[in-house]
Every structure is written in C-alpha cells, then in structure tokens.
Amino acid sequence: MPGANASYRRIPGPLGDPDAYYWRGGLVEKPPRPSHFHRFDPQEQAWKLDDSLAWSAVRGQRDARLAACDWVTLRAQETGEPMPAPWLAYRQALRDITDQPDPLAIVWPTAPA
C-alpha cells in the first residue's frame, strides 16, 4: 500500500503458542520465565526483573511477618515489661530486610521460640 510504513508486516494468523511472538518477520519462542516478577523485553529478547514488583512482594511478606508478631509488642506494652531482646532483634531484622541486594534471594530471619 503506497505511503504505508515499509516496516509494517501483517502477522499471519493467531499465534498457537502463547510463549511465542513475531520478531523481524519470524516466529520466536520466549525462553522460560525465571519468576513471576520478570517481564519479557522483545527488543533484547530476554526476561528483565521488574524490581518494583519484586520489592513490593518482599515488603508485603515482611509486613505480614511483622503483623504476626505484634502480639509480643502489645503484651509488653500492656504488662509494662520490656520487650524481650530476641523479639526486638527479630523485628529489627524484618524492618532491615529491604537492605538486602536481591529481592529474589531474601534471607529471612527466624522468629524466636
């Protein structure tokens, strides 16, 4: 068609494989997705980590773990006794979890017994 974008090509029918895409006139299969925090970049033909999504999930899990031990803080406040040192250290380690470099390799602290 005159005046049409010369790089435009019609894709021949629907893709049978949801993990495939057309690139430069050919059907290309995506490599396996490393995690659900990765997004495929067709320009580089590679999966890229979505840092904001991964760290959001880490913060959500961290917040759930903090909420699960709120009872220790409440008990200390109600009784007027100091909070046990192992629980203080555990809760601080949870708050510091985002200081770790890789959201896919988080080392979670163990809750005191």
Other CB atoms within a 10 A radius of the CB of residue 59 amount to: 13
DSSP single-letter state for residue 50: -
3-class secondary-structure state, position 5: coil
Structural domain boundaries in the chain: 51-99
Least confident of 9-13, 17-21, 54-58, 89-93: 9-13
Answer for the pair 100, 91: CB distance below 8 angstroms, yes or no. no
pLDDT per residue as tens digits for the range 43-61:
888 899 999 999 999 999 9
Statement: the pTM of the whole predicted model exceeds 0.75: no
Q: Quote the tokens at residue 85.
A: 């040192």
Structure confidence at residue 16 (pLDDT): 64
Least confident of 35-44, 62-71, 81-90: 35-44
pLDDT per residue as tens digits for the range 91-104:
999 999 999 999 99
